[in-house]
Chain A
Amino acid sequence: MIETGRINKSQVSFIMLPTIIATAILSIPSIDAKFAGHDMWMTPIIGSLNGFLTVFIVWKLHKLYPNQTPIQYFEKIIGKYAGKLMGLIFVLFYIQVSGIIIREYTDFLKTEVMPQTPGIVLAISLLFTAALAVRGGLEVIARTAVICTTLYMSTLSVLLLLIKDIDLSYLLPFMENGFIPVLKGAFVHQSWFSEFFLLAFLLPFLKNQNGSLKAGIKTVFLVMVDLIIVNFFILTILGMTAANKFYPVYSIIKSISFLGFFQNFEIAVTASWVLGSFVKITVFLYAASIALAQLFRLNNYQIIVYPLSLVILHFSYWDIPRFATLTNFIYKVLPFYLVTFQTIIPLLLLIIALLRKRWGENFS
């Protein structure tokens, strides 16, 4: 066994929450406002359907191949060579996506908080800390996640101070242009929810396998509620100007002014978002490291964490020369890209696995 640490179900929830939300609240709301307009508050509900589906696929695969990570069972499902190839593609996928996450995070900090600081410094400091946590093993990741996620989620409660500023009339007109715009917004959301596929790298290391599906479903639900709250506040405070802002959530937090002296929360919130991004990047880095180590049958994955981090750092700059490229990528490519790898391919593999089980192993 490459990973000796064992975690429990609530730790899995703590790990997965920021894994979806951390970049979802940075990148999605403005795209959502562009597509769904006044109906943007309900897009996470429809988007989350894919989260439930992905969790179910992962759980089903996990039941068929207990104590194995995707890299191991790919070989069992589609044969040795095809399985290896698929594993390699997944490793590359996670490396690239991690690079993009790092870039989203550094771009946010650079535009809003630290314009003078070179982005690479922000990226290295985050990646290095994440690499240390990943080298510590899954238990370390889980324990840091419990602390970081608690802090991360608690700062989002400052949104409640905005209740006096909301204008509910922005929820109208309801479904002005029919249901299609809502679906378009939901499509972006569902791709983020597909990141629940990362559960596949965590489930084999659960202490107690019972109820893992329920824990996953609960997490998807929590993420959905959280994104609805965020979208609701953005819509009722910024109205349609949200579409024109890169970081609408940051913008509304900046506008908090409660009783004249509860002000300037944005720095505290940004600090907690760094923690959220840290958990997210840790999980991605962990998945990529475990996957790569198992692909080449290494005895431990710790030795490849640093080199892998360096590669991810390159991917956060490679081919992203300017913010417009990143925004276009997030808004035109990423929704299709994420869902293909994390929901559609696993779904196909699950179907193949189920068929194999039914007809026996004899035809391979």
Chain B
Amino acid sequence: MKRTLLVILLPVFILSGCWDSIEIQNLAIITAAAIDSEENHKVKVSVQIFIPRTITSGESGEDPSLGSTFVREGIGKNLAEAISVLQTNIPRKLFWGQCKIFIFGQDLAKTGIRKELDFLIRHPAPRINSNLYVSEGKASNLLKLIPPLERYSGEVLSKFSQHQEVGVDTTLSDISKDLTEASQSFSLPYIKRLKSDEYARKSYETIPTIVGTAIFKKDKMIGNIDLEETRGLLWLSRKIQKSTVSIKPEENENEVIMMPTSGSVRFKPQIINNQWIMNIQIQVAASIIQNETFLSLLQEDVITKLEKGLENKLRDRISKTLEKIQKEYQADVVGFGRRFHQKYPEQWKKVKDHWDEKFPEVDVKLSVNATIKRSGDIGGPAALPEEEVIEN
């Protein structure tokens, strides 16, 4: 009796889970996905699928310019339908577990991406730490590019966001947090195809690059800022920008160029007599990387002057960005709302519902404190006779 029971029940244990088992050769591994809007309110999804054969083939003579991925598309009334249409064109089962890049076309971003976000957050497969982007023009075109250095364009984008820190690094989880909580705004990197005019390469053998930031209010894209302004935004999101700042010292027509190396940003919200103030204190250390002038950089008062110059320049840069997002877009992509909410929960309750009106009225007090720590391998200007160096 016991044995019969065992025989009947044994298959249950051997089989459990086999409904979901998929062999790797039956999976189509998606490396990046693009979502565009089509005519008649339809949505087009394009996925970049990895061809495993190409990395192992090596000497088998396959043309490397074909790339290691291919792109398939599906169109439907909504994202879910588009994906099921897409599945009908791919013999293997779509696998989303490795897809950490989602690109939205600009047209779709302008009409709102909430419906698509719901699918991405609800579906168990896409990861909440996936990066999102907005592309100039059609997003699907960027997937079709074949990068000369990386294996596929999705990899290019994730390297830009995570290692180079060129643009804002916004994940699915960040957006979901921003739209659930106070600010009701977020920003995504704005990407574009890099024009390459190498003679030996075809026009599609290039990469997508980050050219700025798309500003979203609620779920709609309301505009974009360029790379220069993005740097200001990145300072405010506590990413120290490794991009050059050039200062023209007084009575000099040439510039000293420096690069921030480390720093910190502190936010101190304040409410005085119903006036909302955000104090932002930035500490930055920089080093000089090029000196076009004849100034000797061993003089402390020269350096202090340069530090002042750097402070002013950074302040200008950041306030220009703030001006734009506060006055022009009125979108709290820097998270002021959350900081006020944390410090002044009582006052926050009153403005919570019309924060987008209150946000432009917030008075920003920006103070920058810069120190120039190093000047590279040499002190004075290079390749110049001793007498011509200005030593004051």
Which residues of A are in contact with B by a Cβ distance under 8 Å? Answer: 111-118, 121-122, 124-125, 128, 169, 172-173, 176, 237-241, 244, 251, 254-255, 257, 264
Contacts and interface: CB of A to CB of B under 8 A. Distances in A.
7 contacts: A117-B17, A117-B19, A118-B19, A172-B342, A172-B343, A238-B177, A241-B180
Given A117-B18, A117-B20, A238-B173, 14 more contacts: A114-B19, A122-B16, A124-B9, A128-B9, A128-B13, A172-B342, A239-B181, A240-B180, A241-B173, A241-B177, A251-B128, A254-B128, A255-B129, A255-B173
Contacts of A128: 9, 12-13
A239 B180 CA distance: 9
A18 to B, nearest CB: 21
Given A125-B12, A255-B129, A173 B342 contact: yes
Contacts of A122: 16
Interface string B338-360: 11011101001000000000000
A112 B123 CA distance: 9
A239 B335 CA distance: 13
Interface residues of B, number: 26
Interface string B163-182: 00000000001001100110
B101 to A, nearest CB: 14
Contact of A114 (B9, B17, B341, B348): B17
B7 interface: no
B379 interface: no
Nearest to B5: A306
B234 to A, nearest CB: 17
Interface string B1-45: 000000001001101111110000000000000000000000000
Contacts of A121: 12, 15-16, 19
Nearest to A256: B129
B127 interface: yes
Nearest to B175: A241
Interface string B109-137: 00000000000000010011100000000
Q: Is the interface of A mostly helix, strand, loop or mixed?
A: helix
Contacts of A116: 19-20
B20 A115 contact: yes
A240 B182 CA distance: 10
Given A124-B12, A255-B128, A173 B345 contact: yes
Instruction: Give the one of B13, B173, B343 with max A CB within 10 A.
Output: B173
A236 B12 CA distance: 41
Nearest to A254: B127
Nearest 9 A/B pairs, CB to CB: A172-B342, A173-B345, A117-B19, A116-B19, A114-B20, A176-B345, A255-B129, A239-B177, A125-B16
B52 interface: no
B145 to A, nearest CB: 23
Contact of B341 (A118, A124, A173, A251): A173
A345 B139 CA distance: 63
A115 B125 CA distance: 11
B64 interface: no
B124 A112 contact: yes
Interface in B80-114: 97
Contacts of B127: 254-255
Contacts of B9: 124, 128
Contacts of A169: 338-339, 342
Nearest to A111: B124
B119 to A, nearest CB: 14
A122 B18 CA distance: 11
